[in-house]
A and B are shown apart, each in its own frame.
Chain A
């Protein structure tokens, strides 16, 4: 039942030298910016608001509504989040390398709409080629008159700075990102204040938006909000890029119409994941990045609609990454590895997150390696409950939070899901003193 629409943000992927200004202009690049500059800024913001463009960075907050919350003060900043480090999420990586001008154009239009004179594009430090391509594109954009002083002869000027990260998953959290951009350790900020739109970079009102969110903006301005909302459903408009990986025949980034397509389409349609490798069975899949609760094959027909995935599924589309696991996958090992990730990336500010993640990793490691104890299963659940009180299987969204940032409650989902669906695997590991899949 997959539907097919012309892609928006990935439409130029595969075009020769898609990252150059020449190629971008040949495909109508920067026309959206020219059009935006001919409109009042409020009209541009209203168009994005009417499109109901949900943030593509993980939290799914409507971009237009966020812009509307911006405190009226000068200066204001726009910060673009290109720190993508959620395990198995690789869409922004592609957009940064393959279509940097689209990000820059969307960013400058957005800066115009919200009245920011300074933009920072924070790019994950490990994305060396992405940083090179973004820097090159920005140099070209300035020379072309699309960035900097009096853009395309208008009264609007904005400076854009590409800021490299230096390796820390937590800096993807918007408040940690702002700390990092201020030259500090990437510690998420204590809330309140809840919104950088009120108090953000250097205490000034700041909009933080994801790379893919920005990439949609030129198209929305060119084609209008109505064309965007014609795709998907009212609560899930437009398209979204999903990173499909794990045991599929064709891993990759696939841009599909929201709400009209399902997890089954992404994993099994020959145009996308093309089914499970080696003709094996799908055992379970992770629907929205490392922080999401897992789904069994019974959830394959759930539509790609954040509200439904949260409400009916008790999980999330989150970062837009789908990881398929076949019937030979050891669920103890898979969930251990995700917990190990969180233990490594916890910034250490909150006790439940710092201590809990390390304990969980140790317990999971010993179960996987044959030294688990019968009481370990209860211990795992107990530690999970301390991090996110009431966390359970089947899951409910959102998991309760005792910590400064959502990384804390992201730790239990892999364990609670694996235990909920495959408790017998844990028991066999403990009883036999070995991993049955080794």
Chain B
């Protein structure tokens, strides 16, 4: 944990190469760091600053603006329950309450085993299937209390490993194509 691994430095460099200005790669590279460590460590952010050519304070200042980026450890599974309007009208708060009871934590907190962090979030764009939630930004709609319990059991037992990667993994599909410049474009 800390600095980016050799392989991830390569990925970070490739990402930086996609942009006319290196700083534009900051968020995608921070996602990469979060994929590696589950959250953004100080050493990691300093390393990203080096790679992009800005100060660690600039990295930190930008990272803390964004809700998906965590500068402190979170659980392996980030459980994000929506309570915004469409969900509120369809039992979103009741689902959140159930989640609090089942996981025995308040929103913002992590379970003692370090497995789950619970969050109350704004609309996640699954309003047609309210109430709904996301686990590490993989979506589950029309969630009943029983569904929630089943989901927690499945996650604990590792039965959803294919659907829900550990916290921080944004895209399991990587860009496999270069830019025109790489072909000596014209």
Please report A residues at the B interface, Cβ cutoff 8 Å: 75, 84-90, 92-93, 117-118, 124-129, 131-133, 135-136, 138-139, 142-143, 147-149, 157, 159, 161-169, 180-186, 202, 243-247, 251-253, 286, 290, 321, 323, 325, 329, 333-334, 337-338, 341, 344-345
Contacts and interface: CB of A to CB of B under 8 A. Distances in A.
A251 B122 contact: no
Given A85-B125, A87-B123, A168-B66, A125 B170 contact: yes
A222 B28 CA distance: 35
B157 interface: no
A88 B127 contact: yes
B169 to A, nearest CB: 8
A51 to B, nearest CB: 27
B23 interface: yes
Interface in B15-50: 18-21, 23-28, 30-31
A243 B170 contact: no
B122 A245 contact: no
Q: 4 tightest A-B contacts by CB?
A: A167-B67, A167-B68, A183-B26, A183-B23
Interface string B168-182: 001111111101100
Interface string B53-87: 01000000110011111000000000000011110
A155 to B, nearest CB: 10
Nearest to A128: B137
B88 interface: yes
A126 B68 CA distance: 8
Given A157-B185, A243-B128, A165 B175 contact: no
B180 A148 contact: yes
A251 B175 contact: no
B107 to A, nearest CB: 13
Contact of B65 (A118, A128, A147, A186): A186
Given A163-B27, A167-B68, 19 more contacts: A84-B125, A87-B86, A89-B127, A90-B123, A93-B125, A126-B124, A128-B136, A129-B138, A149-B180, A157-B180, A166-B31, A167-B66, A167-B69, A182-B23, A183-B27, A186-B65, A253-B128, A290-B85, A333-B88
Contacts of A185: 61-62, 65
B24 A337 contact: no
A156 to B, nearest CB: 11
Contacts of B125: 84-85, 89-90, 92-93, 124, 126-127
A162 to B, nearest CB: 7
Contacts of B173: 131-133, 135-136, 139
B6 interface: no
B122 A345 contact: yes
Chain B interface, DSSP helix/strand/loop, else mixed: loop
A243 B183 contact: no
A364 to B, nearest CB: 13
B139 A245 contact: no
Contacts of B179: 148, 159
Contacts of B88: 333-334, 337
A34 B54 CA distance: 42
A94 B31 CA distance: 23
Contacts of B180: 117, 148-149, 157, 159
A321 B125 CA distance: 11
Given A90-B127, A135-B173, A136-B173, A128 B138 contact: yes
B1 to A, nearest CB: 20
Nearest to B84: A87
A166 B20 contact: no
Nearest to A90: B125
A131 B173 CA distance: 8
